[in-house]
Amino acid sequence: MIIDHPLLGPRDANEFVYLGDANLINRPDWTEKDADKQFYEYLYLRDNPSGYHRELWYHEQGDRSWLIVTRNTSTHEIKQVELAKDYHLEKSKSK
């Protein structure tokens, strides 16, 4: 599988480490009233779709960046690759 890195171009998936659902970035706010429930969902409940899935990959044998890869879990087709840092910065701005 080839991952088209936004900074480095197409790189072999062997260079990456898979972490899982990209929703891990969206850590709940511990000051919220229902923080317990939110953390329970955040830690234990995962979607496991057959189809497109946003997931975190770490470029360990490359530039050590975290990527959000939108991958079809049935066909391994990769639709989109973005830097997790960019996603996080964009999210912080919109808050």
CA 51 to chain centroid, in Å, comes to 15
Site for other proteins in 50-79 (CB under 8 A): 61-65
Cβ closest to other proteins, residue 15 vs residue 55:
15
Q: How far is Cα 42 from Cα 62, in angstroms, rounded to an integer?
A: 29
Copy the structure tokens of residue 64: 């050590």
| Contact mark string toward other proteins, 14..33, x via CB under 8 A | xx------------------
CA-wise closest residue to 22 among 88, 89, 74 = 88
Q: How many CB atoms lie within 10 A of CB 57?
A: 23
Find the part of the chain contacting other proteins (CB under 8 A) among 2-10, 20-28, 36-44, 87-95: 2-10
CB of 6 to other proteins, least distance (A): 10
Residues that bind other proteins (CB under 8 A): 7-12, 14-15, 61-65, 85
